[in-house]
Structure 1
Amino acid sequence: MDTQVIIVGAGPVGLTLAIDLGKRGIACVLVEQKAEPQFLPKMERCNARTMEIFRRLDLADCIRAAGMPEDVPMDIQIIRSMTEPPILRLPYPSVAEARALTHESHDGSLPLEPYQLISQYTLEPLLLEVAEQLPAVTVMRGTTFLEFTEQDDGVLVAVNAADGVRRTLKAAYLVGCDGGASHVRKQLGIRLEGEGDIARLRQGLFYCEQLYERLPMGNGPSRGRHYLVAGGPPTFMIMQDSTRHWTVHSAVESDDEMRRMFERIIGDALPYEMLYCAEWRQNLLLAERYGKGRVFLAGDAVHLVIPTGGLGMNTGVGDATDLAWKLAATLQGWGGPGLLASYEVERRQIGERVVGASRYASLGYRAWLAEVRPEIGDDTPAGSTARAHLAVVANVEQRKSNEMIGAELGYRYVDSPIIDNVPGGPQHDLRAYLPTTWPGARLPHMWLTDGSAIQDRLRPERYTLIDVTGGHDAGPLLAAFEALGAPLDVLVLADSALRTVYERDLILVRPDMHVAWRGDRLPQAVDDLAAKVTGHRDINRASGSISSG
């Protein structure tokens, strides 16, 4: 066996998976076709859940240092140009302001880490450097994946290495993080289902040294993150992390038209350079499976969504963190067969919800865009009426794209074979987040009495039983975990604020911070509980619960 896990694709998802595995001591080889990361515009925002995941990997601070400064406003504005008064301004807190709000929040309703704007061409080199410094991770740059052959005890993977020589590697598992055109997925014969090629736009990357510093220009919009253009072909402009680079997405037909569109948006003769321009397609697609046998898929290889709402890469990072701890537990010998089997059960339902959320966000954008009247730019009473009408509609519809905290934090795993499946549960709400410890949900962030965050007290390689009253004997559960060789910590925190938000005395949390079980006392069948949550036994999912109450 050459390594334990082979990962194909060194985008943010593959790199996150490699780093997570590497920090757990799992040997992995990361195969990447490019010799160096490319300076190409793709994602530009890590959402709150992703930043919490990066915090557990000790990456949050360096990502923030490399990303957009914390005091930059995150406002969304609908405009005609950067020299005309905005039609609508939707204010959103900067990272610094969001952190201040979290610091004052004690009801579990806000994430421990707010979002961070960081362009993919900044994030990828950072993650790559971290991965290459981990002793357990080997990165093969300039190496092309060719094919794989699954065997009883592993997977043979043929690659064309950087020196042009065909090599065969062997690992226990293979993970395809190789994007929407995934060769791994295609060899598995797994189809993408849904709506493909919905629309085509061009994306341009521009360097304009002066634009951000000049804002606002006259009566034009203030500094912000997104500028959506009312009138003409569907167009929007996004500020990148340097505040000097800007991406423009527009339904134009050529590079020259894209240059003219940028000039029209900025509305002033500022010097600029177009660094890149290419066509891309909008898709809402979900893979029918997330893998077969010893081969798994993650990220864009299994879900392709419209960037509106910013859920694509972030969902891929969620895939990576879910798969990483399950692979590690299986390879370390304490994880039962149900762990890896649960990956598709848990993550595909999230992929399905994310496709729906992306559709919802995109329809919101299209709804107000359809209300743009021909006289929208006229300096007339009719033009003023058209702009006022659009502002009213967009104030409702555009928020569907930008306010997705429920989709980011509120998702939970339903009918998972490794979770105590209590019937019912909170409704899935894309727009609003209700903190809950219902089994399957992410553990809500809470500050402890000493000022530390409870998430920071949970070790990422272990389960944790949280006792918020201090009056329970965890011995039987510790013994049940020990019998399976599975790691379990007990965290006693007698805290009435925790009890109020967490709703039960005892909360059993998985290594990925999702709740596996909760109750006011341990169940009599603690062996069944330990076996279920570690993948050694699939208790009847229909009748489901083994809770004590």
Structure 2
Amino acid sequence: MPPPTQAPILIIGAGPVGLCLALELLYHSVPVVIIEKTSTITNNHPKGRNNDMRTLEHYRRWGVSDEIRSLSWKTENPKQELIIKERLVDQDPIGAFPLKYGRDPDESGQFVAEPSLSAPQPVLQGVLERRVVELGGAVWRGWEVTNVDDRGGKVIVTARRDDEVHEMQAEYVVGCDGPGSLVRKAMGVEHDGEGPLGRTWTYVVRSEGFPIASALKGSQYDALGFLMVVNPEASSLINIPGEDEWGFGILVTGEKKDTEPAEEGVKAYARRLLGAPAKVDIISRSSYAAMMRLSRKYRRGRLFIAGDACHICPPTGGHNMNTGIEDAVNLGWKLAGVLQGWGRDALLDTYHTERWPVGRRVSGVAMANSLAMSEAEEPVDGAGGAEPTPADRARQIFERTYRQWNSYGVVLDQRYDGSPAIIQEGWEAPPWTPTNYWPHARPGHRAPHLWLPDRTPLHDHFGKQFTLLNVGASKDIVDRFLSAATSLGLSVVELQIVPQIAGTKYPAKLTLIRPDQYISWQGDECDAEKVIRQITGHITERAATKL
């Protein structure tokens, strides 16, 4: 049976980004069809494990966070650490340092409702795909898209399965189809970047007689989040909870970077990391290039791209998938707004305006992280010029790679400065950094998290479209705003909180929050119709006067 011949939105690619875009559209009651060339979800390598705090906010809205958390990798102690050793067996750590990934609810609870988690990508995809189908979305596997043709008023997509050719028509097509995106090529869009500086070949192995569970046994490993072995080369290890399998990466540079290391060389490398002459079996393998690519445009006409089709960066820090999921959320509600009539086409242009700078910034951070990891094992200095101790080595390695393990700014402080759908008023934010998060309300920033008196998070009370957060505004001003929204076909939910709860995070009497939990406008009063027209794409240029 072939896929349907028509759909409002057709997504190409059923990876995490494509599935999350489908969930965001379904959340806004927009029918969606996904076309995926693979027939099943391949579960042969534990990659793409980091699901950050911001991504968990979306999983929570879509009703999948509990299931994903139940399947995630866990540690005895949620206060996770980077543990550094010189070999895996018969040796205590030479250093243990805090990871600020938001895995500990005591740490993350001041900024988000749910902590981050670690779950391999195939496990995640299974949960997301089941939820898409449960909500009425269609996922058609085993069909490979061969052509995408934007004809102005519609898009014609051709797909093939074996000898069967099928044609579909959609109002909009989104390519979540990876680095070699067919949709990006159909858009005629180039991508820029740097590298590859090398290729990292990753392996999961089993070491006979030296199970990883024994090598990492004891209370000093209860908070193990990441393990780095720095003898003979710096290598981040995959510790698979409850299993005797473990993993590592080998960076290959120069002319042979695209040639996989010989199997015996891989096993010898594993034995050096292990520190024992064990028999090693390779269970699975994968690879990635240490490079950065950024597409010049995220939209052209009725075609869009998201995720790896837009931006590629090394996995150091675990940002690329999460950045792609935020692409999907940003685009999803805007497509819904246009299809439902309250948004204008100019709103779709702001997808590129807002997400492209984020893609550039995050990819740059990930590339810098990758370079720092490759330089982690360079000589270090001891205290007072003395020969460095193992503890000296561990400390300086942590300092060199600090941004990889501390990423609150990347995760929670992605800013949409300069967007025509944002009205920039209010206090100035401090300069952006990848490691620090400024948790205050400002247009173009994510709405800060608050715990309400009933211990529910503020975000749980936001409307599906827009939310007008009322912190002491008069009823007359609020009524005028809601009336203007209704006249323009926009659903706005008023949410009242008292100044004592809002604290310093929400300084204005009114804060207008978008469907993606970003702030469109804040102030004490305004020309409501003009504000609403601008944030929904009816006004395409920045307002020249203060609203």
- What's the TM-score, normalizing by structure 2? 0.90
Task: Choose which of 469, 473, 476 in structure 2 pairs with 1:466.
Answer: 469
**Structure 2 residue 516 is matched with structure 1 residue 512:** yes
| 1:158-237 equivalent positions in 2, closer than 5 A | 158-161=158-161, 164-206=163-205, 211-216=211-216, 224-237=224-237
Question: 2:138 maps to which residue?
Answer: 138
Tell me, yes or no, if the aligned pair for 1:72 and 1:94 is still in contact at 8 Å: no
1:82 CA drift (Å): 1.2
Q: 2: CA distance between counterparts of 1:361 and 1:235?
A: 13
Quick one: distance in 2 between partners of 1:392 and 1:190? Answer: 44
Counterpart code for 1:86: P
Change (3 A) 1:208 1:529: farther
Gaps of 5+ in 2: 253-260
What amino acid does structure 1 have at the position aligned with 2:87? Answer: S
The one of 415, 418, 421 aligned to 2:418: 415
Once the two structures are superposed, the pairs formed by residues 395-406 of structure 1 within 5 Å of their partners are 395-406=398-409
Q: State the 1:507 CA deviation.
A: 0.7
Q: Does the 8 Å CA contact 1:436/1:502 hold for their aligned counterparts?
A: yes
Task: Classify 1:221/1:491 alpha carbon distance in 2 versus 1 (closer, same or farther; 3 Å).
Answer: closer
Q: Distance in 1 between matches of 2:497 and 2:28?
A: 27
The CA deviation at 1:279 is 3.6
| Equivalent position SS for 1:157 | strand
Residues 253-332 of structure 1 aligned to structure 2 (within 5 Å): 253-268=261-276, 273-332=281-340
Q: Distance in 2 between matches of 1:293 and 1:167?
A: 23
* Correspondence 1:390 to 2:393: yes
Instruction: Give the 3-state SS of the residue equivalent to 2:92 in structure 1.
Output: coil
Alignment correspondent of 1:61: 66
Letter in 2 for 1:76: L
Cα drift, residue 245 of structure 1: 4.6
**Cα offsets for 1:281-306 (capped at 9, x unmatched):** 11111111112100000001111111
The secondary structure found in structure 2 opposite 1:6 is: strand
Q: Distance in 2 between matches of 1:368 and 1:337?
A: 48
Distance change in 2, residues 1:207/1:510 (3 Å): farther
**What CA deviation, in whole Å up to 9, does each residue of 1:347-382 have, x standing for no partner?**
001101102211332343344322269xx9xxxxx9
Q: CA RMSD in A?
A: 2.6
Partner of 2:429: 425
Give the CA deviation at 1:211: 3.7
Q: Distance in 2 between matches of 1:370 and 1:477?
A: 60
Residue 51 of structure 1 corresponds to which residue in structure 2? 56
1:453-476 CA-to-partner distances (Å, cap 9, x unmatched) read 1000002x2100001225343111
Determine if contact 2:68/2:124 at 8 Å carries over to the other structure. yes
Match of 1:362 among 358, 370, 379: 370
How far apart are the structure 2 equivalents of 1:544 and 1:366?
50
Provide Cα deviations, 1:62-82, integer angstroms capped at 9, x if missing partner: 110111136455321222211
Q: Which amino acid aligns with 2:319?
A: L
Paired residue for 1:379?
none
User: How far is 1:449 from its partner?
Assistant: 1.6
Is the contact made by 1:285 and 1:305 (CA closer than 8 Å) also made in structure 2? yes
Q: 2:23 aligns with which of 19, 22, 33?
A: 19
Judge which range, 250-259 or 399-408, deviates more: 250-259
Letter of the structure 2 residue corresponding to residue 185 of structure 1:
R
Instruction: Give me the whole-angstrom Cα distance separating, in 1, the residues matched to 2:248 and 2:537.
Output: 46
| 1:353-412 CA-partner distances (Å, limit 9, x unpaired) | 102211332343344322269xx9xxxxx9972524323322322222110101110121
125 and 384 in structure 1: CA distance in 2 versus 1, 3 angstrom threshold: farther
1:230-265 Cα shifts (integer Å, max 9, x gaps): 243442212246655533111262233222322332
Is the partner of 1:251 in helix, strand or coil? strand
> What is the number of residues matched between the two proteins?
527
2:234 touches 2:373 (CA, 8 Å); kept in 1? no
Q: Secondary structure at the match of 1:3?
A: strand
1:454 aligns with 2:462: no
2:539 counterpart of 1:537: yes
Q: Deviations over 1:15-39 (max 9, x none)?
A: 1111221232211111111111111
**Contact 1:470–1:493 (8 Å) recurs in 2:** no
**Secondary structure at the counterpart of residue 104 of structure 2:** helix
Unaligned runs of 5+ in 1: 377-381
Contact 1:179 1:300 in 2 (8 A): yes
- Residue range with higher mean Cα deviation, 313-322 or 38-47: 38-47
- Is residue 11–residue 18 contact of structure 2 (8 Å, CA) maintained in 1? yes
| Aligned residue identity for 1:418 | A
Which residue is equivalent to 1:150?
150
| Alpha-carbon offset, residue 433 of structure 1 | 0.8
Q: Is the 8 A contact 1:211 1:270 kept in 2?
A: no
CA distance in 1, matches of 2:219, 2:505: 46
- Aligned to 2:376, what secondary structure does the other structure show? helix
Answering whether residue 344 of structure 2 is matched by residue 333 of structure 1, we say no
